[in-house]
Amino acid sequence: MPIHPIEYRYGSSDMRRIFDRETWLEYMLRVEAALAEAHAAVGNIPREAAEAIVGKASTKFVKLERVNELEALTKHEVVAVVKALAEAVGEPYGGYVHLGATSNDITDTVLALQIREALGIVEKDLVKLAKLVAEMALRYRDTVCLGRTHGVAAVPITFGFKLAVWASELKRHIERLNEVKNRVCVGKLTGAVGTMAGFGDRAFEIQDYAMKILGLKPAEITTQIVPRDLLAELILFLSLVSSTLDKMANEIRNLHRSEIKEVEEAFEEATQVGSSTMPHKRNPIGSEKVCGLAKILRGFAVAALENVVQEHERDLTNSSCERVMIPEVFLLLDEQLKTMHRVLSTLKVYPENMRRNIDATMGLIFSEAVMIALARKGYDRQKAHELLRVSCIEAMRKGTHLKEVLRNTEVSRYLSDRELDELFKPENYLGKAVEITERIAFSTLKFLENLSS
């Protein structure tokens, strides 16, 4: 009976399969088979033994039910797999299974295989999302909206510029992913404390041969386990991606607010319900889910850092933590990425409300534009700032448009009515927003195109 939401609510079937118990066993058997092949290649075991082990190293022959039975007896999952595989191979070759290896030679290498496959899904989703965001940035490059700092109206930007910031961040994550994957996806066959003593004189050849079969690089140096700074880097990276998605979703949630309503998550009017008691409700539930899951992911970053610390050549404190942490982090991020793509691909954008919110500031957001214009006319910049500050206070107190207040100040000696009118048009105070948006969007799309070629 499912208890944890991760069992039935979050994560795609593709990501779930990677961390499924049956898949885990298939990976375990692959690593044991690669080890046997490597031993045979250097002459440590008969070629026939390796062939027999490889031939039975599959869940067609080694059943999870039998592994579970043996684990219940031995209280050791790796020993259970080894015994089950040896049984399937039979005499006389079953005795060569797991020769020279320690448990984490198998489990850490399996973990590298799982992470590599899971990162492949993350990369695919990141690329898909980055492409969507870059294309949206171009679509809305000229759509003027209110820039806000501290939650308060600042100066105009464009909605496309906002999206370009996100596209740039997603592009960096894709670059980081490939760097992380290169470091983290490493296996090991180095034995009980990392010295390779159990593998004999040709230990390096055994490890290199097995890793080549599995498509992994060997870890540079290990104790009984691959150093956990690598897993910490992975979890920190995945948490960083999660935080970017949180940032994007949080912005959508804020712009979705009734009193702002510059964007709105899609709502299935035929069937969707927003509240059990308030029929009018249309809530940004997708974005809220993304923000909520980010809290969980960031929490795992602390656990991953704690796991870097091990007693001597290894203790077991990391193991139980990682069993929970690694599948959950990948499944939750998978859910975030797919949800964010769905939210953005169906997002409703309301340029008319963006203009309404600009107009509602009664010209206050153009105070900087006027100040800069005065300075260019030779007016002292510091005096201009004070003049505008006082004028803004007066405009707010009277509920009057700032432009009308300024017409009755010495500003009129420096700026004509026509010049003043032009300064209060939001499209005239966008700086290089459109150009920057285009630069980022096109470079992101080019980067993604090069990835696929």
- Residue 372 dihedral angles phi and psi, to the nearest 5°: -65, -40
Distance CA 199, CA 379 (A): 81
Cβ proximity of 64 and 25 under 8 Å? yes
Distance CA 101, CA 116 (A): 22
Q: Which two tokens stand for residue 217?
A: 């690089």
- Residue 319 dihedral angles phi and psi, to the nearest 5°: -60, -55
Q: List the catalytic residues.
A: 150, 275
- Residue 152 dihedral angles phi and psi, to the nearest 5°: -115, 145
Distance CA 348, CA 345 (A): 9
- Give Cα 179 to chain centroid, integer Å: 14
Distance CA 414, CA 387 (A): 13
Closest by CA to 52, choosing from 43, 63, 40, is 40
